[in-house]
């Protein structure tokens, strides 16, 4: 584990050596790689122990988005998610959509848990690179402990084996951070264009996460803006920030450029339907379509957000949880900044140059997240990075080294011990990740148009049907048919008026009244005798597939459904 680049165990560093950070950081010890494998296998096992994914987002859009892309059916179905998520980039969902019918559910769950464990390596590497600990064994222990503590947060742990992917995207964010902290000397003291390639690479990694999932944008903003307050000459700050931004744009182009191009061509808005008050696509109202349900309403609520959701987690999410990492972080970083400005700590735990940048990036990312989203799941990468930042911040405080060490160990222990993860809904394992019963008993003409109603997620049922059907959702964030200016209104009316075959309804049994009301808006009546039940282990209750008839029309359509 020891390296010739590591300061020997008994050597004391000069008091002024740390502020300059002149030594190259030692390479990672080889033991980091088998440790990562063990952690990955452990989290694969955790995923199996927790149970099979049955979360709302999987049923609402993750499966259908990826499945439609894999099968070349993008654009066939309309507004199938409850809200605007059906327009999200499907790239992250492609692997799951490709394997959910091919591999056993346990294999898929284990792979998703394994992917969460992969975050251990970049987190370990960041802690290792930042550390000023001359003893390689202590350095190894601290790096391992902080990386593990990061993986055990409420948000990250709750996503083990699930398809939210906030934890998986942490790999891109952490790689961006690792490039910067490991090349800090080159970035801050290199001549001319030295380091530009590394800054571009760092920006690319964070931009890639942004392209794959737009909610990652606040990390790009925080990491880039932090260069403007980094400990380096002003012109270099601006130059590095500029090239980092260029890298972000290139990463976004790779991760999300193809989907933005599709949305631009199909709807005239590369972020459709978001920011439609800017792009004015005729397919949506001129609204931002931003989910503001969790946004704080006043400046006081924004300033106190981290402390408020510590007592009431439903302020930032749909299910309860407890995790004190973020409020601890937003408390310690300002204290560390004031302490460092007042009296520089001669023996900090981490190298001050990259530490200052990283602490600023963490705080700025959080500050952007509050007014932009305030949805806790999106903070999972920052949650995973928090133990490293907490230790770094404590290391800058102007108190005795022993006190800081005990405080860091004790605080990380408390943060882990008090964590209560979210429960996004899981179920006992089945042979397949998504099973739907009842479709095999239906005989469906190729030109059947299926109208989905209610507020319950239904799109996960669609892959069980033949590919020659079309599915249109009547009740969604677009409030069809109550907004006559929305382009989907004409599309829907034309489709129902000109459809040569039967029109069917798909709804949750508990939302039949809503289905009847929605169908009546288009002159359709639910033909209740034709209804057949559908079931799914990951579903929420029973579903009904029914044919419809025109208001005032007659005729028995039941025989059309049955073999």
Kindly give the confidence (pLDDT) of every residue in the chain, 563 residues in length, as a single tens digit, with 9 standing for 90 and above: 333 333 333 333 333 333 344 445 678 999 999 999 999 999 999 999 999 999 999 999 999 999 999 999 999 999 999 999 999 999 999 999 999 999 999 999 999 999 999 999 999 999 999 999 999 999 999 999 999 999 999 999 999 999 999 999 999 999 999 999 999 999 988 776 778 999 999 999 999 999 999 999 999 999 999 999 998 999 999 999 999 999 999 999 999 999 999 999 999 999 999 999 999 999 998 999 988 899 999 999 999 999 999 999 999 999 999 999 999 999 999 999 999 888 777 789 999 999 999 999 999 999 999 999 999 999 999 999 999 999 999 999 999 999 999 999 999 999 999 999 999 999 999 999 999 999 998 888 888 999 999 999 999 999 999 999 999 999 888 776 667 778 898 899 899 999 988 999 999 999 999 999 999 989 999 999 999 999 999 998 999 999 999 886 554 443 343 33
> b/e per residue, 178-205, with b = 16+ CB within 10 A?
bbbbbbbbbbbbeeeeebbebbbbbbbb
**Is 471 part of any domain?**
yes
In a domain, 422, yes or no: no
- CB-count exposure of residue 268 (10 Å: 0-12, 13-18, 19+): middle
Q: Is 429 part of a structural domain of the chain?
A: no
Is 1 part of a structural domain of the chain?
Answer: no
Q: Are residues 109 and 183 located together in one domain of the fold?
A: yes
Residues 446, 364 within the same domain: no
- Rounded distance between C-alpha atoms, residue 112 and residue 99, angstroms: 12
CB contact set of 343 (below 8 Å; sequence gap of 6+): 398
- Domain span at residue 446 reads 439-560
Residues 274 and 224 in one domain: yes
Is the domain of 175 the same as that of 307? yes
CA 440, CA 531: separation in Å to the nearest integer? 14
In a domain, 60, yes or no: yes
Which residue's structure tokens are 């590369």?
A: 270
pTM for the model stands at 0.92
Residues 256 and 121 in one domain: yes
Asked if 364 and 451 sit in the same domain, the reply is: no
List the one residue out of 488, 481, 487, 492 whose CA is nearest residue 449.
492
Number of domains in the chain: 2
Residue 437 is classified by DSSP as B
Regarding whether 195 and 276 lie in a shared domain, the answer is yes
Pick from 351, 382, 417: which residue ends a domain?
417
Q: How far apart are CA 478 and CA 496, in angstroms?
A: 18
Alpha helices in 479-553 (DSSP H): 487-498, 512-520
Q: Which residues pair with residue 322 across a beta bridge?
A: 420
Asked if residue 443 and residue 408 are part of one domain, the reply reads no
42 and 119 belong to one structural domain? yes
Answer yes or no: do 142 and 186 share one domain: yes
Which residues lie below 8 Å from residue 229, measured CB to CB, with a gap of 6+? 237, 356, 357, 360
Phi/psi-derived region of residue 508, left when phi > 0, alpha when psi is between -120 and 50, beta in every other case: beta
Statement to judge: residues 221 and 306 lie in one domain: yes
Residue 207 belongs to some domain of the structure: yes
Q: Which residues contact 423 (CB under 8 A, 6 or more apart)?
A: 158, 319, 320
Among the residues of 100-232, which ranges form H helices?
Answer: 105-117, 120-130, 136-151, 154-158, 166-182, 184-189, 196-212, 217-226
In-domain check, residue 5: no
For residue 14, being part of any structural domain is answered with no
CA end-to-end distance (rounded Å), the chain: 68
227 and 330 together in one domain? yes
């Amino acid at each position: 584990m020891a390296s010739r680049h590591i300061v020997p165990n008994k050597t004391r560093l000069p008091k002024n050596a740390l502020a300059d950070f002149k030594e190259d950081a030692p390479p990672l010890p080889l033991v980091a790689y088998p440790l990562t494998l063990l952690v990955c296998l452990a989290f694969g096992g955790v995923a199996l122990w927790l149970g099979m994914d049955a979360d709302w987002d999987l049923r609402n859009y993750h499966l259908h988005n990826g499945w439609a892309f894999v099968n070349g059916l993008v654009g066939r179905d309309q507004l199938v998610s409850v809200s605007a998520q059906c327009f999200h980039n499907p790239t992250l969902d492609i692997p799951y959509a490709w394997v959910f019918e091919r591999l056993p559910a346990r294999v898929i769950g284990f792979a998703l848990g394994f992917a969460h464990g992969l975050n251990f390596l970049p987190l370990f590497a960041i802690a290792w690179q930042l550390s000023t600990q001359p003893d390689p064994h202590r350095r190894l222990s601290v790096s391992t402990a902080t990386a593990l503590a990061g993986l055990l947060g409420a948000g990250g742990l709750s996503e083990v084996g699930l398809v939210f992917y906030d934890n998986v995207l942490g790999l891109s964010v952490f790689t961006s951070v690792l490039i910067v902290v490991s090349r800090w000397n080159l970035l801050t003291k290199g001549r001319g264009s030295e380091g530009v390639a590394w800054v571009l690479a760092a920006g690319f990694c964070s931009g890639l996460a942004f392209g794959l999932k737009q909610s990652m944008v606040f990390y790009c903003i925080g990491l880039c803006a932090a260069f403007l307050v980094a400990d380096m000459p002003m012109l270099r700050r601006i130059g590095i920030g500029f090239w980092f931004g260029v890298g972000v744009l290139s990463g976004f182009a790779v991760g999300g450029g193809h989907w933005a191009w599709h949305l631009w061509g199909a709807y005239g808005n590369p972020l459709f339907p978001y920011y439609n008050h800017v792009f004015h696509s005729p397919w949506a109202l001129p609204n931002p379509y931003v989910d503001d349900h969790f946004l704080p309403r006043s400046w006081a609520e924004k300033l106190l957000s981290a402390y408020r959701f510590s007592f009431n987690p439903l302020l930032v999410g749909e299910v309860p949880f407890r995790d004190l990492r973020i409020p601890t972080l937003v408390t310690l970083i300002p204290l560390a900044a004031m302490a460092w400005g007042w009296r520089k700590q001669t023996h900090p735990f981490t190298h001050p140059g990259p530490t200052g940048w990283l602490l600023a990036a963490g705080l700025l990312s959080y500050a952007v997240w509050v007014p932009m989203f305030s949805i806790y799941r999106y903070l999972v990468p920052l949650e995973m990075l928090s133990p490293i930042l907490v230790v770094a911040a404590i290391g800058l405080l102007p108190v005795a080294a022993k006190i800081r060490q005990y405080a860091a160990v004790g605080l990380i222990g408390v943060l882990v011990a008090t964590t209560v993860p979210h429960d996004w809904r899981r179920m006992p394992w089945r042979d397949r990740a998504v099973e739907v019963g009842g479709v095999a008993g239906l005989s469906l003409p190729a030109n059947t148009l299926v109208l989905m109603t209610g507020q319950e997620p239904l799109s996960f049922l669609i892959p069980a049907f033949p590919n020659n059907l079309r599915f249109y959702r009547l009740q969604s964030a677009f409030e069809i048919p109550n907004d006559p200016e929305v382009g989907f209104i004409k599309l829907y009316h034309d489709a129902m008026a000109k459809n040569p075959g039967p029109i069917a309804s798909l709804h949750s049994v508990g939302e039949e009244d809503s289905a009847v009301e929605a169908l009546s808006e288009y002159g359709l009546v639910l033909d209740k005798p034709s209804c057949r039940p559908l079931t799914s282990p990951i579903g929420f209750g029973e579903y009904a597939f029914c044919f419809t008839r025109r208001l005032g029309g007659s005729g028995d359509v039941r025989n059309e459904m049955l073999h």
